[in-house]
Amino acid sequence: MRELTFREAVVEALDMALERDPRVFLLGEDIGYYGGLFQATQGLLQKYGEDRVMDSPISESAIIGAGIGSAIVGMRPIVEIMNIDFMPVCMDQLVNQAAKMRYMFGGKMKIPLVIRCTCGAGRGGAAHHAQATHGVFMHFPGLKIAVPGTPHDVKGLLFTAIEDENPVLFVEDKMMYNVKGEVPEGYYTVPFGKAAIRHEGEDVTVIATLRMGYRALAVAKEMEEKGIGVEVIDPRTLCPLDKETIINSFKKTGKMVIVDEGNRVGNFGSEVASIIAEEAVDYIQAPILKVTAPHVPVPYSPVLEKFYIPDEERIRQAVYRVLEYA
Judged by the rule CB under 8 A, the positions of this chain that interact with another protein are 202-203, 226-229, 254, 281-286, 323-326
Residue 1 or 281 with smaller CB distance to another protein: 281
Instruction: Determine how β-strand 230-234 pairs with β-strand 196-199.
Output: antiparallel
295 is catalytic: no
Q: Which of the residues 128, 129, 134, 295 is marked catalytic?
A: 129
* Between 146 and 273, CB nearer to another protein: 273
The alpha carbon dihedral of 93, 96, 102, 105 has a sign of negative
Q: Which is closer to another protein, CB of 285 or CB of 301?
A: 285
Smallest gap, in angstroms, from Cβ of residue 254 to another protein? 5
Cβ-contact 142, 102 below 8 angstroms:
yes
Q: Which is nearer to another protein, 71 or 288 (CB)?
A: 288
Question: Least distance from C-beta 200 to another protein, angstroms?
Answer: 12
CB of 197 to another protein, least distance (A): 18
Nearer to another protein, 100 or 321 (CB): 321
DSSP letter for each residue of 202-257: SSEEEEE-TTHHHHHHHHHHHHHHTT--EEEEE-SEEES--HHHHHHHHHHHS-EE
φ, ψ for residue 285 (rounded to 5)?
-105, -15
CB of 277 to another protein, least distance (A): 9
Q: Is the dihedral of CA 301, 297, 145, 233 positive or negative?
A: positive
* CA 106 to chain centroid: 29
The secondary structure of 34-82 as a DSSP string is: S--TTSTTTTHHHHH-TTTEEE--S-HHHHHHHHHHHHHTT-EEEEEEE
CB of 183 to another protein, least distance (A): 34
Residues that are catalytic: 129
